[in-house]
Structure 1
Amino acid sequence: MSNHALAERHRLAELLTAAGPDAPTLCAGWTTRDLAAHLVIRERRADAAPGIRIGALAGWTRRVQDGYAERPYEDLVRLFRAGPPVYSLFALPGADEAANTVEYFVHAEDVARAGDDWTARPVPPGRSEALWRRLPLLARFEAGRHSPVRLTLARPDGRSLTVGPAGAPTVHLTGEPAELVLFAYGRGARTTLTVDGPPDAVEALRHVLPLP
């Protein structure tokens, strides 16, 4: 059975190694060193990981992450590449695949698309389908939760899903699942999506979520 999270982990580790510790990323304010430290504490520091999502705990998470960022960059990448330790929740059977396929794909693209000369790389068909299966939930809780307009996210083959406030004007975004996932996570400015809808609705969306 394919392990998309493992494949994306190795791809992300290679991108981090090639970029070096001081390269930009699409994570606002983070260099590759900051991203590597984030990846390590997320699966190795259970005391600090909740602050990634919970604002009240973010200060502690930031202090722990800053401490890890002072370590040798090569050590951070090596720890990430090695995978979760046995005491990590991500070491439970199936947890890495379920929780990290999208996480590592998005962060790999955070490194790959940070430069001005980025291009969208082909995604293996199986991984593309895995991203599509995860899109409805993350689109609802990421892009849909913030969008002032109705969003139709469509693949070139016609399959689509709709999220966002009912009754609002609809903006259609069309592209491969990988591009739709990146849009849902706020990376829409560095995608190849086609955007269509009433100009006022598109402009309202652009104020909240980046568009190409």
Structure 2
Amino acid sequence: MTPIDLRERHQLCDLLLEVGPAAPTLCEGWDTMDLATHLYVRERHPLRPTRGTPRALHNGFEWVVGQLRAGPPLPWRTPVLRDLANGLEYFIHHEDVRRTNGLELRPRSEDLERLAWRADRLLARRLPKRLGPHSLRLESDDGGVAEYGSGPTVMLSGRPTEMLLFLSGRPAGSALVISGSAAAQDALHASQRRF
């Protein structure tokens, strides 16, 4: 089976070329050229982003997408970064392009759902501080449950990948059931930060 990071990377590159450099994304203020440039700079010039951006813009969209398709340099190929960092980064940005451009929910991928559930629980640990007197409960559609904080509960139910989109600051792009008191739901929405 193709590793998640490579699968998401190649599918995103295909989609970027299909929609072109000026297509919208879920990243506010970014089109697909901005998103591709972000991914290129993140991998190739993480310590000096101002150096990578002009090069990407000068060489153009197809060049940037080609650089992404070629794969990441070290250290992005190490197992920990490959899965949690790059695999999920590319999944999220793949969905940023898909959802904004009217593409349907993809078929379930069990390896991606397992990885997303790990990330969901890591991201959710940070939320109770921002939820005030409310708690958060995650209920995965495959039976996983995780609870954080105390007080009136707001619950996210659905696929782990959908929770990941929500927890990474894309509530409008996710397909989840959100339940709980209105105050707890308001606190959850106010706590959103884009990653």
Q: With the length of structure 1 as denominator, give the TM-score of the two structures.
A: 0.80
SS in structure 2 of the partner of residue 110 of structure 1: helix
Indicate conservation of the 8 Å contact 1:89/1:95, yes or no: yes
| Superposition misfits of 4+ residues, deviation over 6 angstroms | none
Do residues 128 (structure 1) and 113 (structure 2) align? yes
Do residues 182 (structure 1) and 165 (structure 2) align? yes
Do residues 81 (structure 1) and 81 (structure 2) align? no
Q: Which amino acid is the alignment partner of residue 97 of structure 2?
A: V
Q: 1:176 to 1:64 in 2, by over 3 A?
A: same
Q: 1:28 to 1:67 in 2, by over 3 A?
A: farther
Quote the offset at 1:67 in angstroms.
Answer: 5.0
Deviations 1:50-104 (A, max 9, x none): xxxxxxxxxxx3674355234310000000010123xx32134553234211111
Q: Name the structure 2 match of 1:151.
A: 136
How far apart, CA to CA, are the structure 2 residues paired with 1:91 and 1:156?
31
Q: With the length of structure 2 as denominator, give the TM-score of the two structures.
A: 0.86
Q: Which amino acid is the alignment partner of residue 182 of structure 1?
A: L
SS in structure 1 of the partner of residue 138 of structure 2: strand
Pick the aligned partner of 1:102 from 71, 85, 88.
Answer: 88
Q: Which amino acid is the alignment partner of residue 92 of structure 2?
A: V
1:31-110 equivalences under 5 Å are 31-48=31-48, 61=49, 64-65=52-53, 68-85=56-73, 88-92=74-78, 95-110=81-96
Deviations 1:159-207 (A, max 9, x none): 11123xx333210110011101111101121111011101222123223
How far apart, CA to CA, are the structure 2 residues paired with 1:93 and 1:159?
24
Do residues 197 (structure 1) and 180 (structure 2) align? yes
Deviations 1:80-134 (A, max 9, x none): 010123xx3213455323421111110100000113x343222312221222233
SS in structure 1 of the partner of residue 156 of structure 2: strand
Q: 1:152 to 1:78 in 2, by over 3 A?
A: same
How far apart, CA to CA, are the structure 1 residues paired with 2:31 and 2:110?
30
How far apart, CA to CA, are the structure 2 residues paired with 1:93 and 1:200?
41
Q: Name the structure 1 match of 2:146.
A: 161
Q: Name the structure 2 match of 1:54.
A: none
How far apart, CA to CA, are the structure 1 residues paired with 2:79 and 2:141?
34
Q: 1:176 to 1:73 in 2, by over 3 A?
A: same
How far apart, CA to CA, are the structure 2 residues paired with 1:205 and 1:95?
28
Pick the aligned partner of 1:111 from 86, 92, 97.
Answer: 97
Give % identity. Answer: 39
* Uncovered stretches (5+) of structure 2, i.e. residues with no partner: none
Q: 1:93 to 1:180 in 2, by over 3 A?
A: closer
Aligned residue-pair number: 192
Tell me the C-alpha RMSD between the 2 structures.
Answer: 2.3
How far apart, CA to CA, are the structure 1 residues paired with 2:42 and 2:85?
11
Quote the offset at 1:156 in angstroms.
Answer: 2.2
Q: 1:162 to 1:62 in 2, by over 3 A?
A: farther
Q: Name the structure 2 match of 1:13.
A: 13
* Uncovered stretches (5+) of structure 1, i.e. residues with no partner: 49-60
